[in-house]
Amino acid sequence: MQILIDEDRYQRLEQRAIAERRPIAALVREAIDLAFPGQEAERRRAAESLLRRRQMPVGDWQKMKSEILDATGRGL
């Protein structure tokens, strides 16, 4: 694939690439992933969101584990 961009955008990419010691192509791929996330990125963001939430109280871990396994059909 070939992409044509104006001089201003290219200079911004080039400056950032030099500052971060990374190839311009890596910056372009990263920008695409941010603008158009794939399923993996969406799952990662959802997981990060859950992890940032308040900790849920866990009383009896063995009971909770059993409930989780039962709910997923793995506790049979």
Instruction: Report pLDDT digits (tens) over 6-65.
Output: 999 999 999 999 999 999 999 999 999 888 878 887 888 888 887 887 776 667 888 888
- Tell me whether residue 67 is in a domain: no
Can you tell me the distance from the alpha carbon of 67 to that of 55, in angstroms, rounded to the nearest whole number? Answer: 18
Residue 66 identity: S
Contact 43, 51 (CB under 8 A): no
- Look up the domain containing 31 and give its range: 7-56
* SS3 call for 58: coil
Q: What is the pLDDT of residue 26?
A: 95
73 part of a folded domain: no
Residue 76 has pLDDT above 60, yes or no: no
The answer to whether the Cα torsion of 14, 17, 22, 27 is positive or negative is negative
Identify the weakest region by mean pLDDT among 3-7, 9-13, 68-72. Answer: 68-72
Residue (of 13, 43, 39) closest to 25 by Cα position: 13
Inside any domain, residue 38: yes
Position 62 in a domain: no
Q: How many domains does the chain have?
A: 1
